Structure 1
């Protein structure tokens, strides 16, 4: 049950400034996820997240690397709705089941290149961006670029925002993602 401060807004009940963003999500996904309806309590946060996540999607990081980064943040920050959503995205990308399982349980990944982006993401977080040369060189040695290193920072920012907001609002996993939801603890 959400705190009264974070209602499940509809297009009709949402603040005027959130409606355009909400309509765009409905048009793209075919439904209004509860996470979006609750984030609409702050039209600025909702709009900001949707914009920054779209910018992240346009980076030169390949789709699998982006999803590895997102799942690394989602599991680290224990955002169950994010884990479900990005498990679905990884599945749609055709990602290996062992890779998905390792990401969901925060274990080393079975493939070197995705593991390099996971490790680099964790290093950026652990050092507040002051990664040592060895960490950067290891990331680059797996075919990533200096531009990709900065795009990791962009992804961390976008998905830290959403994971923290989704946890604060108590956003539930909707029926569309139920099959991808983490098991209750």
Structure 2
């Protein structure tokens, strides 16, 4: 059950300012995810997250690298909704099952380039952005660019926002993602 402060808004019950972003999600996904319904309690947060995540999707980081970053944040922040959603996205991308399993359990990845993204993401978080030259050079040595380094910061911001909000609202995993949900603890 949602906390009374975070109802499962529908398009009809949501604050007016949240309806257009919610409609866009429904049009894109074919349903209204429960997390979106709960985030609609703050139309600004919902709209902001959708905009910043769309901007992140337009970066020069390749789709697998973006998903590695997102899963790194999702597991670090223990957001079961994000883990399920981005496991599904990784699966749709054709990502290796061992890579997905390693991401879900916060273990080193079996491939060097995705592991470089994971490690750099964790370094940026651990140092509040003040990564040392060795961490930056290791990231760059795997074919990434200084632009990609700043795009990592963008992704961290976007998905820190969503993981914290999803946890605060107690957003459940939608039935469409149940097969990708982490096992209950």
- TM-score bin, normalised by smaller chain: over 0.9
State the distance in 1 between where 2:47 and 2:90 align.
24
State the distance in 2 between where 1:23 and 1:123 align.
37
**Distance apart, 1:47 and its partner CA:** 0.1
**Distance apart, 1:72 and its partner CA:** 0.1
State the distance in 1 between where 2:60 and 2:75 align.
23
- What number of residue pairs does the alignment pair up? 185
State the distance in 2 between where 1:152 and 1:62 align.
12
Per-residue CA distance 1:31-51 (angstroms, 9 max, x = gap): 000000000000000000000
Give the TM-score of the pair, scaled to structure 2. Answer: 1.00
Superposition RMSD in Å: 0.2
State the distance in 1 between where 2:70 and 2:10 align.
27
State the distance in 2 between where 1:105 and 1:2 align.
27
State the distance in 2 between where 1:102 and 1:136 align.
23
**Distance apart, 1:88 and its partner CA:** 0.1
**Distance apart, 1:22 and its partner CA:** 0.2
State the distance in 2 between where 1:130 and 1:172 align.
35
Aligned to 1:73: 73
Structure 1: gaps (5+ residues): none
Structure 2: gaps (5+ residues): none
**Distance apart, 1:140 and its partner CA:** 0.1
State the distance in 1 between where 2:70 and 2:26 align.
22
Per-residue CA distance 1:98-142 (angstroms, 9 max, x = gap): 000000000000000000000000000000000000000000000
Per-residue CA distance 1:129-180 (angstroms, 9 max, x = gap): 0000000000000000000000000000000000000000000001000000
Question: Aligned with 1:130: secondary structure?
Answer: coil
Aligned to 1:153: 153
**Distance apart, 1:19 and its partner CA:** 0.1
**Distance apart, 1:182 and its partner CA:** 0.1
State the distance in 2 between where 1:125 and 1:2 align.
30
User: Following TM superposition, where does structure 1 have runs of at least 4 consecutive aligned residues deviating by more than 4 angstroms?
Assistant: none
State the distance in 1 between where 2:80 and 2:127 align.
25
Give the TM-score of the pair, scaled to structure 1. Answer: 1.00
Aligned to 1:87: 87
